[in-house]
Structures are given as C-alpha cells and as structure tokens.
Structure 1
Amino acid sequence: MKTIAVGGIAAAISCTFALEAAATEWNVSVWGKRRAFTEHVEKLAELVSEKTNGEFTMNISYGGLSKNRENLDGISIGAFEMAQFCAGYHRDKNRVITVLELPFLGVENLEQEVAVASAVYQHPAAIEEMEQWNAKLLMTSPMPQYNIVGTGEPKTKLSDFEGMRVRATGGLGKAFESVGGVPTSVTATEAYQAMESGVVDTVAFAQHAHLSFGTINQADWWTANLNPGTVNCPVVVNIDAYDSLSDDHRAALESSIPEALDHYLANYAELLERWDSVLEEKGVQKVEIAPDVIEEFRAAAADPARDAWIADMEAQGIPGQELYDLVVKTLADAKGGS
C-alpha cells in the first residue's frame, strides 16, 4: 500500500509538471492606454488564449514594463516576450523599416499599409537587422496618413510652415524640415504637454492618437488632407521566446495574426467614420489644404527624402534601392487588386 501511495504521489507530481510545462505566459509591453493602435494586440491575446484553451496567455502592460522608447531594448534582453515600438523612436536600431516612413509614398488606406509593411518585414534585410535585437517582426500597426493639429491661425500655405514647431518623428519630421518646419521627436505620451507648454505649435498624429493623447483638446484646427506620410510601428516578439513555443502554441499565434489585423482595420474604420463629429463636438476647424500647396510640399519633400534615404542605406550596406522598389511594387499591386 505504501509503495502504491508513493507511486500515486509521484504520478500526480509528474502530471502537475507536465501541465505547467504546457502552459505559456507572455508579458507584452505597449504604452498609453488601450486604443485603436493596440486593438490587434488585444485581439491576438484573446484569440491565442481561445485556441489553446487558456494554455497560452498574454499579459498586456500599458507602460508598466518599459518606456516606449526602450521596448526594443527590453525585447533584446528578454525582459518581456512581446512589444510594440515605433521606428522613429530609434531609427539607428531599425533602419530597414524606415523605408515605410518616407514622405508621400502614396499609400491610400490601411489595407495598403498592411501590404507594404508585410512585404518589408519579410525582406531578408529586415529579418537580419531585427535578429541583432533578438527580435522577430510579427505584425504591423497600420495607421492612416498623419495630419496636424495646431493652435492659432490654420497653416494653409507652405510659407506658413516656416519656423513651425511640429511634433513629428522619422520621415515626417524630415518632410516638415524640408519646408522650413522645426520638428521635435517627443514621444506620443509627451505630445500633449509639449503642445500645452508651447514647446511645439503643432502635432502630427493619426486620428486615434490625437484622441488618445489629448492633443485634439488643445487644437483650434486640423488638416484634413495634408497626408504627408505616416509612421511604422511593428509588434515584435523575442526570438528565444518564439522558438521555445510548442508547435501547437506557435500555430495558434501565427494563425491569429490575420484575424487580429482584420479586427484592427474594422475597429479603425469605425473611428474614422465618426471623426468629423469628434471635430464638431470639440470645436476644431477642419482645414482643407489646396491641391497646389500639397503638390508643392510633395515636390520639396518626397524626392529629396527618398534619394537621401537610399544613399544613406546603401552606404551602410543595406539594399535601400531594393527596399524602396519593393514598397513601390507592392503598393502598385495592392492598388491594382483593390
């Protein structure tokens, strides 16, 4: 009887260890608060948990694990398993994907943004660069073309941008700089304070961010159609954590990405539908920039930025021309199929 009891205990312990080994818990570092920008991460966590009967779970932390500029560093050392970051926060660490932040690429909607980002993420140069940070590109966080909010008189002419202090990161910052603007790359969470204190006159964001970070509450006007470009913000996973997943858990993760992105796109579409009523509610003037002014902006910003980016990348051993051509071809294909 004693032998049987000990054997039963050993079997129970063995079973417990097996259950613990089967469970996977990931920590996910994002920032701000839950919003359109993080809905695909939230949906991914929900889907993965459902598909694995709760054996694979994700704990999503809004700023509790890391500062947004340090998320890639956290991934590299394994401080957490998944994170979101924006290329413009540390362009030297993620040079390849900054091709997606070049101004006036011609992306017209979020579906096209997903297409071009996915193509670049799968390029060997992008994969190799992220491997230096022990990171694997999982999915993008597609955002509409940025537009600016500001105080005082609206900026309607290119000459109005001269000396304009604008919160704009990456390629967008370069674009405004090309027409006399003075860009600053304060983080999204710092933008409201920068605007309130007068550090910047204007802030460039997608619609959800103007809402989430309160800059719309400081605004007198918003440019509806400037559309100079957007930023690229991937979701990445720690390679060691990804490789340690069981086949079933990895399949659950990978198969959930398309549905998570579809959820993101549907959610964002609802936000865009109600945007005009948000402007009216907050008393923000909707400014339409004249087509000739936009064309003047494009001529000053697009070609020089593209040529400089390609030359800079090629000088560093990165296939800049090939990456740019990939974006152009993928975008043309996406437009042809839409």
Structure 2
Amino acid sequence: MQKHLKRAALAALSLTIASEAMADQWNVSLWGKRRAFTEHVEKLAELVSEKTNGEFTLNISYGGLSKNKENLDGISIGAFEMAQFCAGYHRDKNPSITVLELPFLGVTSLEQEIELSMAVYEHPAVVKDLARWDATLLMPSPLPQYNLVGVGDAPKTLADFEGLSVRATGGIGKAMETVGAVPTSMSASEVRQAMDSGIVKAVSFAPHAHMSFGTIENGKWWTTNLNPGTVNCPVVVNTLALESLSDDHRDALLSSVDEALDHYVSHYNGQTMEAWGPALEERGIEQVTFSDTEIASFKEAAAAPAAAAWIEENTKRGLPAQELYDMVTGKIAAAN
C-alpha cells in the first residue's frame, strides 16, 4: 500500500514539474494606463491565454518595469519579453522605421497604417536594424493623424505658430519647424506637467492621447485639419524569448496578432472617436480649421525637404533609405 502511495506521489510530482516546464510567463512593459493605444496588447494577452489554456500568459505592466523611452533597451538585455515604444523617442536606435513618421505621407486610415507598418517591419533592412537590440517587431500600434491642443490665443493662420513651443516628436516636429514652431520631444507621460508649467504651449497627439494624458483639461483650442503625420509605435518581443517558446505557444502568439489588431481598430474607430467630439464640446474647446491653401503650403514646405533629409541621413547610416521611402510612398499611392 505504501509503495502504491509513493508511486502516486511521484507521478503527481512528475506531472506538476512537466506542467511547470510547459508554462510560459512573459512580462510586458507598457506605460501610462490602459487606453485605446494598448487595447491590442490587452487583447493579445487574452487570446494567448485562451489558446493555451492558461499555460502561456502575458503579464502587462504599466510603467512598473521600465520608463517608456527605455523599453527597447530593456528588450535588448532580456529584462522583459515584450514591450511597446515609439520610434520618435529614440530615432538613432531605430532609424529604419522612422520612415513611417515622415510628415504628410498621406495615410488615410488605421487599416492602411497597419498594412504599411507590417510591410516595413518585414523588410530585411528593418529586421536587421532591430536585431541590434535583440528585438523582433510583432505589430504596430496604428494611430490616426496628429493634431494640436493648445493654450493661449488660438492660431488663426499658420503664421501664428511662429515661436510657439510645441510638444512634437519625429517627423511631426520637423514639419512644425517649417511654420516657425519650436518643437520639443518628450514622452506622453511628461506632457501634462510641461503644459501646466508653460514649458510647451501646444501638444501634438492623436485623439486618444489628448484624452488619456489630460491636455484637453486645460486646453483652449484644437486644430481640426493640420494632419502633419503620425508616430509609429511598435510592439516588439525579445528574439531569444520568441525562439525559446514551444511551437504551440509561438503559434498561439503569432496567430493572435491579426485578431488583436482588428479589436484595436474597432475600439479606436468606435469608442474612442465617438467620445472625442463630445469631450471637446463639453470643455468649450475652440476648433481651428485652416484653409486648403494654407494646408497645401504647409505640405509643400514640410514634406519634400523632410523626406530628402531622411533619405540622405539614413543612406549614410548604411540603410537602403531610398528603397524604404519608395516602398512606403508607392504602397500609399497604390492604395489611394
């Protein structure tokens, strides 16, 4: 009898050890709080857990693992297995994907932004660029065109941006320089304090971020149609961690990306944008719309010079910059 009990105990212990060996727990570094910008990661975690019966879990942390500007560094040393970051936060670390942040590219929808981003992410030069950080690009965080919320007198023409301090990263910052604004790059979590203290007078964000980070709480005006561009904020995974997954767990992760992105788009186009208009009206925020002539002049002044500078700079880095730019603009032209 005692032998049978020992055998049963050993069998149970072996089963427990085997189960633990099959389990995977990944830490995921995000920032801020759960919002439209992170819905695809939340959905991904849900899908992966469902597909693996809880054997593979994504533990999402909002700021508890790393600062947002250091997420790529954390991935590179294996401090966590998955993270989100924005290319414009550290252009020198990920120059290849900053092609997606050039001003006035002409992307018209989140769906198009996804298709374009995934095509760039799969380019061999981009894969090699991110491999320097032991990072594999998993999926984008598609965002609509950025516009400004500001304090003080509302600009009536583009000339009124002369000398205005603006939080604007990447290509959007370069575009704002062409109309005389003074761009400052800072993370989203720093923006409200900078706005309250007067460090910046206007902030460039997508609608969800204006709501999530409080710029509309003291903002007086919003530009409806400046549309200088957007930022590219991918979700990446540590390459070794990805390769170390079992085939089933890796498939559960990769096969969930499309559904997670579909959920994100549905949430953003629905819940987020439905709340945006009423949020502005409730606070009495003035909506500033520029003439077609001014927008055309803005685009002419900003787009071509920024693209030429980007191509020259990144060709010197050894990237096939012209090829990447032509691929992006060609896909946009074909879609539009």
TM-score relative to the length of structure 2: 0.97
Post-superposition Cα deviations, 1:134-164, rounded to whole Å, max 9, x if no partner, equal 1100000000000001112212322111111
Q: Partner residue of 1:35?
A: 35
For 1:207 and 1:200, locate their aligned partners in 2 and report how far apart those are by CA, in whole Å.
18
For 2:327 and 2:296, locate their aligned partners in 1 and report how far apart those are by CA, in whole Å.
24
Of stretches 299-308 and 171-180 in structure 1, the one that deviates more from structure 2 is: 171-180
Letter in 2 for 1:246: S
Q: Partner residue of 1:275?
A: 276
For 2:113 and 2:210, locate their aligned partners in 1 and report how far apart those are by CA, in whole Å.
20
Q: Partner residue of 2:177?
A: 177
For 2:61 and 2:233, locate their aligned partners in 1 and report how far apart those are by CA, in whole Å.
17
Q: Partner residue of 1:303?
A: 304
After the TM superposition, which residues 1-338 of structure 1 pair with which residues of structure 2 at under 5 Å, given as runs?
Answer: 3-270=3-270, 271-335=272-336
Deviation at 1:317, TM superposition (A): 0.6
Given that 1:52 and 1:249 are in contact with CA atoms closer than 8 Å, whether structure 2 keeps it comes out as yes
For 1:196 and 1:247, locate their aligned partners in 2 and report how far apart those are by CA, in whole Å.
50
Given that 1:156 and 1:290 are in contact with CA atoms closer than 8 Å, whether structure 2 keeps it comes out as no
Post-superposition Cα deviations, 1:184-240, rounded to whole Å, max 9, x if no partner, equal 111100101111100001000000000000001111110011100000000000111
Deviation at 1:262, TM superposition (A): 0.5
RMSD: 1.1
Of stretches 232-241 and 273-282 in structure 1, the one that deviates more from structure 2 is: 273-282
For 1:170 and 1:30, locate their aligned partners in 2 and report how far apart those are by CA, in whole Å.
20
Letter in 1 for 2:202: T
Deviation at 1:296, TM superposition (A): 1.1
For 2:286 and 2:181, locate their aligned partners in 1 and report how far apart those are by CA, in whole Å.
21
Deviation at 1:12, TM superposition (A): 2.2
Post-superposition Cα deviations, 1:284-325, rounded to whole Å, max 9, x if no partner, equal 111111111111111111000000000111111101110011
For 2:25 and 2:332, locate their aligned partners in 1 and report how far apart those are by CA, in whole Å.
37
Q: Secondary structure at the match of 1:149?
A: strand
Letter in 2 for 1:314: T
Of stretches 222-231 and 169-178 in structure 1, the one that deviates more from structure 2 is: 169-178
TM-score relative to the length of structure 1: 0.97
Gaps of 5+ in 2: none
Of stretches 314-323 and 4-13 in structure 1, the one that deviates more from structure 2 is: 4-13
Letter in 1 for 2:248: D
Post-superposition Cα deviations, 1:246-278, rounded to whole Å, max 9, x if no partner, equal 111111111110010000001001211332111
Deviation at 1:109, TM superposition (A): 1.2
Post-superposition Cα deviations, 1:54-75, rounded to whole Å, max 9, x if no partner, equal 1111111000010000000000
Given that 1:71 and 1:84 are in contact with CA atoms closer than 8 Å, whether structure 2 keeps it comes out as yes
For 1:41 and 1:163, locate their aligned partners in 2 and report how far apart those are by CA, in whole Å.
38
For 1:38 and 1:180, locate their aligned partners in 2 and report how far apart those are by CA, in whole Å.
33
Post-superposition Cα deviations, 1:17-61, rounded to whole Å, max 9, x if no partner, equal 110011111110000000000000000000111111111111110
Letter in 2 for 1:74: G
